[in-house]
A and B are shown apart, each in its own frame.
Chain A
Amino acid sequence: MTLATIWLTIARKEFADALRSRMIWGIVVIIAVMTSLSAGISLLIPDVEGGAEMAIGGASQFAGLLVPIMALIAAYLAIAGERESGSLKVILGLPPSRGEVLLGKFLGRSGVVAIGLALGFVVSGVVTAVLYGGLPMGAFIGTTVLTVLLGVSFVGIAIGISAVTATRARAMTLAITAYLGLTLLWDLAPNAVHLLVTGEMPGGVVPAWFLLLQGLSPTGAYNALVQQLLLGGGTAVEARIGGQAPGYLDPAVFLGILFAWTVVPLLVGYLRFRRADLS
Chain B
Amino acid sequence: METHSRVLSDSRKPVDDGAIAIETIGLTKRYGKDVLAVDDLDLTVYEGEIFGFLGPNGAGKSTTIDVIMDYVRPSAGSATVLGYDAQTETREIHERVGILPDGYGLYDRLTGRKHLEYAIALKQSDDTVDDLLDRVGLDAAAADRVVGGYSKGMMQRLALAIALVGDPELLILDEPSSGLDPNGVRLVREIARNHADRGKTVFFSSHILSQVEAVCDRVAILNRGRLVAIDSIDGLRDTLGTGSTVTLSVDAIPDSLTLGELAGVSDVAVDGRTIRVSVDEATAKVDVIDRIRDDGAAILDVTIEESSLEDLFSAYTGDVPPKVDASEVER
Query: CB of A2 within 8 A of chain B?
Result: yes
Residues from chain A with Cβ under 8 Å of B273 in the complex: none
Query: CB of A184 within 8 A of chain B?
Result: no
Q: Which residue of A lies closest to B72 (CB)?
A: A277
What does DSSP make chain A's interface, helix, strand, loop or mixed? Answer: helix
As a 0/1 sequence over residues 109 to 145 of chain B, the CB contacts with chain A under 8 angstroms (1 = contact) are: 1100000001101111000000000000000000000
Given A86-B101, A86-B103, A278-B72, residue A91 in contact with residue B122 (CB < 8 A):
yes
Query: CB of B167 within 8 A of chain A?
Result: no
User: Taking the nearest CB of chain A, how far is it from the CB of B158, in angstroms?
Assistant: 10
For the complex, give the distance between the alpha carbons of A94 and B99 in Å.
8
Contact present for B71 and A21 (CB under 8 Å): no
User: Taking the nearest CB of chain B, how far is it from the CB of A189, in angstroms?
Assistant: 38
Query: CB of B73 within 8 A of chain A?
Result: yes
With beta carbons under 8 angstroms apart, the residue of B70, B107, B122 that contacts A94 is B122
Residue among A5, A17, A275, A277 with the highest chain B CB neighbour number at 10 A: A277
Residue among A2, A86, A279 with the highest chain B CB neighbour number at 10 A: A279
Q: Which residue of A lies closest to B101 (CB)?
A: A89
For the complex, give the distance between the alpha carbons of A13 and B103 in Å.
23
As a 0/1 sequence over residues 1 to 36 of chain A, the CB contacts with chain B under 8 angstroms (1 = contact) are: 010011001100100010011000000000000000
Contact present for B122 and A87 (CB under 8 Å): no
Given A2-B124, A279-B66, residue A93 in contact with residue B118 (CB < 8 A):
no
Given A95-B94, A97-B90, residue A6 in contact with residue B122 (CB < 8 A):
yes
Query: CB of B106 within 8 A of chain A?
Result: yes
What does DSSP make chain B's interface, helix, strand, loop or mixed? Answer: mixed
As a 0/1 sequence over residues 88 to 111 of chain B, the CB contacts with chain A under 8 angstroms (1 = contact) are: 001100110111010111110110
Q: Which residue of A lies closest to B147 (CB)?
A: A87
Residues from chain B with Cβ under 8 Å of A91 in the complex: 122
User: Taking the nearest CB of chain A, how far is it from the CB of B74, in angstroms?
Assistant: 10
Query: CB of A196 within 8 A of chain B?
Result: no
Contact present for A93 and B101 (CB under 8 Å): yes
Residues from chain B with Cβ under 8 Å of A187 in the complex: none
For the complex, give the distance between the alpha carbons of A85 and B106 in Å.
8
Residues from chain B with Cβ under 8 Å of A275 in the complex: 73
Residues from chain A with Cβ under 8 Å of B98 in the complex: 93
Residues from chain A with Cβ under 8 Å of B121 in the complex: 9
Query: CB of A96 within 8 A of chain B?
Result: yes
Contact present for B66 and A96 (CB under 8 Å): no
As a 0/1 sequence over residues 21 to 59 of chain A, the CB contacts with chain B under 8 angstroms (1 = contact) are: 100000000000000000000000000000000000000
Q: Which of A54-74 contact B (CB under 8 A)?
A: none
User: Taking the nearest CB of chain A, how far is it from the CB of B157, in angstroms?
Assistant: 14
For the complex, give the distance between the alpha carbons of A26 and B6 in Å.
60
Contact present for A89 and B104 (CB under 8 Å): yes
With beta carbons under 8 angstroms apart, the residue of A6, A89, A97, A277 that contacts B103 is A89
With beta carbons under 8 angstroms apart, the residue of B73, B107, B109, B122 that contacts A277 is B73
Residues from chain B with Cβ under 8 Å of A2 in the complex: 124
With beta carbons under 8 angstroms apart, the residue of A21, A94, A97, A278 that contacts B123 is A94
Residues from chain B with Cβ under 8 Å of A96 in the complex: 94, 122
Query: CB of B69 within 8 A of chain A?
Result: yes
Query: CB of B159 within 8 A of chain A?
Result: yes
Q: Which of B39-88 contact A (CB under 8 A)?
A: 62-63, 66, 69-73
Residues from chain A with Cβ under 8 Å of B119 in the complex: 90, 94
Residues from chain B with Cβ under 8 Å of A21 in the complex: 109
Residues from chain A with Cβ under 8 Å of B72 in the complex: 277-279
User: Taking the nearest CB of chain A, how far is it from the CB of B143, in angstroms?
Assistant: 16
For the complex, give the distance between the alpha carbons of A266 and B151 in Å.
37
Given A2-B124, A86-B105, A279-B63, residue A93 in contact with residue B73 (CB < 8 A):
no
Contact present for B124 and A13 (CB under 8 Å): no
For the complex, give the distance between the alpha carbons of A93 and B163 in Å.
9
User: Taking the nearest CB of chain B, how far is it from the CB of A123, in angstroms?
Assistant: 27
Residues from chain B with Cβ under 8 Å of A97 in the complex: 90-91
Q: Which of A84-128 contact B (CB under 8 A)?
A: 85-97
Residues from chain A with Cβ under 8 Å of B265 in the complex: none
A residues neighboring B (CB under 8 Å): 2, 5-6, 9-10, 13, 17, 20-21, 82, 85-97, 275, 277-279
B residues neighboring A (CB under 8 Å): 31, 62-63, 66, 69-73, 90-91, 94-95, 97-99, 101, 103-107, 109-110, 118-119, 121-124, 159, 162-163, 165
Given A90-B159, A278-B72, 11 other A-B residues pairs in contact with their CB atoms under 8 A: A5-B124, A6-B122, A86-B101, A89-B101, A89-B105, A90-B119, A94-B122, A94-B165, A95-B94, A97-B91, A277-B72
